[in-house]
């Protein structure tokens, strides 16, 4: 793994006069594929009866034409997932369907709970049996226990028990419910489609369905959706300090996770990344001939650096889009070969040049070291590395896979030592203040979680 991995992406669709909700969910999940490539699934509800298909693999591999033909319903709940190796099995794929006294319940979850284990142990002491260690199953069990013929009330009581960063979608026999954690750490948005409404982790999913972005779900808000209306419950939305709501949105969503064509909490992701590049140029200038970005996620920041510094931008690295994902190759040697195949410099652009190489982040540094080596082999005179996020030194507790943070290149090393390890002529990271400035600064109306950079988290970690 040489990039941080998001846990998953979710979509929910409710239609008024059609049973093609699964087809729309399929298109939306393709738009959210960057949020998880381990598994995919869709659950549907038709005339109160639920069915689901999910498996390991990409959306196009799991949900083929034959499967979609069988998944008919006026409501659909879809999910793509990335998870640690211990969850690389079909029973961890979502959506999760449970049957209980009030019927069937489908749940899809993005994020992580910091008290999930305690809640699971408490319910196990009371006789509840679980088939996985997933937080999604804990949440589904809590909703089922609290549901006294009031699904919205059950979701609200569950949210008052769970702690963490999450976006949640639930489907029962007559509605879809969406909820976002009280600090809004994980994103969730509301959209309008032809004949109904939809929820998704990112607004880009609505474009895939030819829909319309309406707004972001507020931190702590619960929305109840059927095909004809949307009802909002804001009883858990914070009113502290007279603000409309308080939040701690994950800053890394803007740095890397989200697609650049998405808008989250009023901020366009591409604009944030370009702003970060401009800020990086002001904070960490260097004399150079060209600026190049590591495609695709480093490109907007590289363009911003070029605009901020006046150094010309050139597409000096070509990405082979038909190569499999590097991080799943089983050995280091195979991963290194994969890096050479996936990213290749244009010799004529870099030969004899002093190059500013811009990327969004460094995790282990394996890929970056190989990229710098390839640029030198292509004739680059100097390689000055600039990173549009601060060094990642701490664990994320809210849904990002940082289980091997001790192996991250910046965990316990000073910048100069990292530079030497990567064989760059110079290395600089954007400051934490600079990143916040790129996000709109302290007056933008909401805060951000920067725990993976600063070690300071928006809630107490038990």
Q: Which residues are catalytic?
A: 8
The residue whose two tokens read 């999930």 is 116
Distance from C-alpha of 433 to C-alpha of 279, rounded to nearest angstrom: 10
All residues at 6 or more sequence positions from 85 whose CB lies less than 8 Å from its CB, including other chains: none
Which two tokens mark 6? 């998001």
Which two tokens mark 25? 């969910």
- The crossing angle, in degrees rounded to 10, of helices 135-146 and 151-161 is 130
Please report which helix (H) or strand (E) contains residue 305, including its range: helix 299-309
Distance from C-alpha of 137 to C-alpha of 94, rounded to nearest angstrom: 10
Distance from C-alpha of 180 to C-alpha of 187, rounded to nearest angstrom: 7
All residues at 6 or more sequence positions from 139 whose CB lies less than 8 Å from its CB, including other chains: 107, 109, 113, 158, 162, 168
**Order of strands, sheet of 212-216, starting from the edge strand that comes earlier in the sequence:** 49-56, 39-46, 75-81, 8-15, 196-200, 189-193, 212-216
Cα 87 to chain centroid distance, Å, stands at: 18
Q: Which residues of 428-449 are buried (b: 16+ CB within 10 A; e: fewer)?
A: bbbebebbbbbbbeeeeebbbb
> Torsions phi, psi of 371, nearest 5?
-65, -45
In terms of C-beta distances under 8 Å and separation of at least 24 residues, what long-range contacts does 60-63 make, across chains too? 60/30, 63/22, 63/26, 63/29
Distance from C-alpha of 40 to C-alpha of 26, rounded to nearest angstrom: 10
Which two tokens mark 20? 């093609």
């Amino acid at each position: 793994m040489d990039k941080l991995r998001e846990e998953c992406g979710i979509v929910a669709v409710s239609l008024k006069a059609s049973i093609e909700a699964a087809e729309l969910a399929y298109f939306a999940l393709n738009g959210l594929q960057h949020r998880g490539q381990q598994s995919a699934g869709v659950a549907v509800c038709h005339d109160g009866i639920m069915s689901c298909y999910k498996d390991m693999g990409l959306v196009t591999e799991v949900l083929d034409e034959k499967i979609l033909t069988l998944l008919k319903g006026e409501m659909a709940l879809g999910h793509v997932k990335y998870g640690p190796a211990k969850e690389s099995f079909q029973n961890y794929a979502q959506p999760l369907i449970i049957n209980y006294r009030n019927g069937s319940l489908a749940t899809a979850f993005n994020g992580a709970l910091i008290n999930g284990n305690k809640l699971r142990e408490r319910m196990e002491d009371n006789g509840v049996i679980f088939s996985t260690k997933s937080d999604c199953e804990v949440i589904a069990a809590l909703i089922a226990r609290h549901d006294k013929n009031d699904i919205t009330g059950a979701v609200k009581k569950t949210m008052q028990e769970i702690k963490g960063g999450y976006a949640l979608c639930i489907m029962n026999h007559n509605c879809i419910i969406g909820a976002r954690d009280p600090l809004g750490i994980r994103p969730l948005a509301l959209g309008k489609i032809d004949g109904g409404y939809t929820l998704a982790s990112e607004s880009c999913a609505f474009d895939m369905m030819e829909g319309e972005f309406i707004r972001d779900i507020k931190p702590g808000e619960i929305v109840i959706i059927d095909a004809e209306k949307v009802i909002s419950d804001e009883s858990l939305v914070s009113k502290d300090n007279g603000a409309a709501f308080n939040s701690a949105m994950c800053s890394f969503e803007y740095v890397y996770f989200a697609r650049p064509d998405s808008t989250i909490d009023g901020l366009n992701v591409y604009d944030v990344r370009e702003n970060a590049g401009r800020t990086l140029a002001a904070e960490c200038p260097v004399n150079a001939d060209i600026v190049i970005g590591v495609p695709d996620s480093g490109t907007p920041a590289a363009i911003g650096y070029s605009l901020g510094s006046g150094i010309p931008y050139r597409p000096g690295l070509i990405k082979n889009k038909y190569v499999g994902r590097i991080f799943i190759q089983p050995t280091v040697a195979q991963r290194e070969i994969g890096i050479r195949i996936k990213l290749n410099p244009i010799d004529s652009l870099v030969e004899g040049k002093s190059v500013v190489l811009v990327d969004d982040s460094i995790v282990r540094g394996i890929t970056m070291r190989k990229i710098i080596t390839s640029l030198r082999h292509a004739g680059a005179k100097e390689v000055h590395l600039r990173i549009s996020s601060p060094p990642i030194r701490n664990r994320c507790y809210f849904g990002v896979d940082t289980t091997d943070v001790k192996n991250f290149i910046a965990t316990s090393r000073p910048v100069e030592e990292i530079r030497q390890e990567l064989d760059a002529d110079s290395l600089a990271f954007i400051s934490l203040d600079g990143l916040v400035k790129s996000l709109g600064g302290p007056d933008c109306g909401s805060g951000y979680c920067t725990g993976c950079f600063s070690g300071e988290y928006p809630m107490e970690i038990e």
